Amino acid sequence: MAAIEEILDLEAIDRDIFRGPAIHSELTRTFGGQVAAQALVAATRTIDDDKFVHSLHGYFVSPGASEKPTVYLVDRIRDGRSFSARQVSAVQDGEVIFSMQASFHVPGDKGIDHSDVMRDVPDPDELADDRSHLPASSRAMLAEWGDWDIKVVNSSEYDTNPYTATHQVVWFRSKKELPADPTFHVCTLAYMSDMTLLHCAVVPHPDHPVQMASLDHAMWFLRPFRADEWLMYDQISPSAANGRALVHGRIFNRQGDLVAVVTQEGLTRTLEPGQKVIPMKNLEPEA
């Protein structure tokens, strides 16, 4: 996989039209986090410096081809005094593969202040990078993301909520230092947020092979952070039914500040014989 700087380096084709590069990948379909991150970059390129993104909501309309570039068309929905809104369409071969709306807000507004508390888990430096207990599809995806430190915490290492159907805790960060620009870190986290999240839905079903793909993706950016410092991704799946799973993640920095929240619905359809869990070139089909 290419460096995140290359992934987020969009070419300006015309006013509000950008092109994201084709990125070499073992995935046959474009990674959802890549499309979401590039769409967010395109939106931020049309926003004045006095506003910062605070939320995005996107739908993966159809699978993209990883070997092809993607064109991003930005609509300037609104520019107000405190908020701006953008709509972005990601296009390949004339067809929309992803549609996103993003909202931007001026910093410094005053109001109430509270936050959830981070789960008590081992520090990432205390964890061995042992992936042997993970399913083959998870190990294959982790191998795809070589530029990232990703450590899945064993569930025996933390207390679980008895009212939660499934849970997964992951520490992750960029292995290399990233540019200082806060917007770059936000767009990078949009890319990272699609890593491992849908896999938390299959934790209680280790022997049930499913076909997985992201269907929609929503994020809220709550507090400043750096994507090259350890972040804890606390994931649950409140429901799985009808071939779809709802997954939810809270992202904390190492100091325990809640910096972002993610919600996604994904395809978790029972896998037919001969199909792959994830469309990867070197991942063997299920028997």
- What is the bridge-based pairing of β-strands 70-79 and 148-153? unpaired
The dihedral formed by the CA atoms of 206, 163, 156 and 240, expressed in degrees to the nearest 10: 20
Residues 6+ apart with CB under 8 A from 191: 4, 7, 8, 33, 34, 36, 37
Catalogue the active-site residues. 194, 214, 264
Report in angstroms the alpha-carbon separations of 133 from 129, 140, 192, 195, 233. 11, 13, 22, 18, 19
Quick one: how far is CA 242 from the chain centroid? 23
- What is the bridge-based pairing of β-strands 11-14 and 95-105? unpaired
**Paired tokens of 85:** 């809104």
Asked if 128 contacts 268 with a C-beta cutoff of 8 angstroms, the reply is no
SS (H, E, C) 52-104: EEEEEEEEECCCCECCCCEEEEEEEEEECCCEEEEEEEEEECCEEEEEEEEEE
